[in-house]
Amino acid sequence: MATSTEAAGTIGATSPGSRKALIAILPLAILLYAVVPLILRGQPYWLNVMTNAAILSFGSLGVWVTFAIGRVNIAQGAFALLGGYTTAILSTVFGLSFWLCLPLSGVVAALVGTLIGWPLLRLRGIYFAMVTLSLTEAMRLLFLNTVTLHDGGGVLNIPRPAGIDTPLDFYLFAATLLLVGYLAVWRLAGSRIGWVFRSMRQNEELAMSIGINVARYRVFAFAFCSAMGGMAGACFASLQQNIYPATYTVTDSINFMLYCFLGGLDFVLGPIVGTFGLIIAFELLRSIQEYQALLYGALMILVMLFLPNGLLSLPSILGRFWRSSR
């Protein structure tokens, strides 16, 4: 099975494949590297917002992978917390550089994801959703009761990444991370594994009957997702220079999932569009502070009512409308 995957990989890496990858990534790259910095160069506040959105998108991309195998995953907050604490403890207690902590956080989150995911992924539907939600809360309580560096389980004075000093630097780093994550998930979704995932989403028994090792693939998807969550958490810990057990709660896990959903579950770009859309909407609504949260909630319901398949399904709906009106 491994050899056939590799074979598919080498075929994909030939020139038409890489051209396709370029087409997929180029618009996003131009937007992230050129348009955003040009417009927001002198506004550290908005650059910060964009940095947040980019890192959150990276985490949501992971959740998208678990949506791809047909599981509603409300545990991304737990893995962001795990990754954040990994970076926090490695960099403050052991003095490790952020550039080592970041991949290590991903590895730790992936390992824990594998360990927990192996048994839990037997659950489906609402059971999986509920148990992952409980996992987020359990992770918070775990750090609250085990980390004793600071009152309330927090870790303070986490060093900033070496070589990154200005908000623009941090934004460019987050944008790069997001692009790499996008390329990885895009590649995954288009590969043989992506098709295996899709077959599992439609019918796991059927996938099993044609010889797919369903258990292994779903653990892989979950570990992949957890690693991305862990790395997102690591970035935030370093960006904000502190982390507390309450940094990621059930609400954050739910948000990661909502971002994917609002962007559109059928598109790899979905989580990115959803995250940036919601974060920017939230910031723009800040000027009408009193009603901000209220309108934000109403906005979300409206999207669900009229675009139940996400913001990115709008073009196809408009296209259908256009064709039928002619």
Partner 1 sequence: MEQILVNGAILSANYALIALGITLIFGIMNVLNFAHGQMFMIGGLIVYTVCVVFKLPYAVGLLAAAVVVGLIGMLLERTLFQRVMRISSREENTMLLAVGTALLLENIALFIFGEKQRGIPPMVSGVYRLGSAFLPANRLLVFAISLALIAAVLLFVNFTRQGRAMRALAQDRTATMLMGADVNRISMLGFGLGAALAGIAGGLLISVSGVNAGIGTAISTKAFIMIMIGGAGVIGGALLGAVALGFAEAIGYALFPGSVTYLLIFTALILFLLIRPQGIMGKPWG
Q: Does 85 bind partner 1 (CB under 8 A)?
A: no
Min CB(121)–partner 1 separation in Å: 11
The residue range among 32-40, 48-56, 57-65, 134-142 that interacts with partner 1, by the rule CB under 8 A, is 134-142
154: left (phi over 0), alpha (psi -120 to 50) or beta: beta
Cα gap 197→69, rounded to integer Å: 5
At 307 the three-state DSSP class reads coil
Q: Which of 26, 39, 115, 141 touches partner 1 (CB under 8 A)?
A: 141
Which one of residues 80, 221, 265, 272 is an interface residue with partner 1 (CB under 8 A)? 265
DSSP letter string, 150-186: SGGG-B--PPPPTT--SHHHHHHHHHHHHHHHHHHHH
**Closer CB to partner 1, 145 or 209, in the complex:** 145
Provide the minimum distance between the beta carbon of 303 and partner 1 in the complex, in angstroms, as a whole number.
9
Asked whether position 298 contacts partner 1 by CB under 8 A, the answer is: yes
250 lies in the binding site for partner 1 (CB under 8 A): yes
Options 56-64, 89-97, 232-240, 289-297: segment touching partner 1 (CB under 8 A): 289-297
Q: Does 56 bind partner 1 (CB under 8 A)?
A: no
Counting contacts by CB under 8 A, is residue 297 touching partner 1? yes
- Candidates 89-97, 106-114, 161-169, 257-265; binding stretch for partner 1 (CB under 8 A): 257-265
Q: Which two tokens stand for residue 103?
A: 């991949």
Return the closest-CA partner of residue 64 out of 173, 198, 191: 198
- End-to-end alpha-carbon separation of the chain, Å? 49
CB-neighbour burial class of residue 37 (10 A; exposed 0-12, middle 13-18, buried 19+): middle
As a whole number of angstroms, the distance between CA 181 and CA 230 comes to 13
Contact (Cβ atoms closer than 8 angstroms) between residue 154 and residue 242: yes
Contact set with partner 1 (CB under 8 A): 67, 72, 116, 119-120, 122-127, 129-131, 133-135, 137-138, 141-142, 144-145, 249-251, 254, 257-258, 261, 265, 290-291, 293-294, 296-298, 300-301, 304-305, 308-309
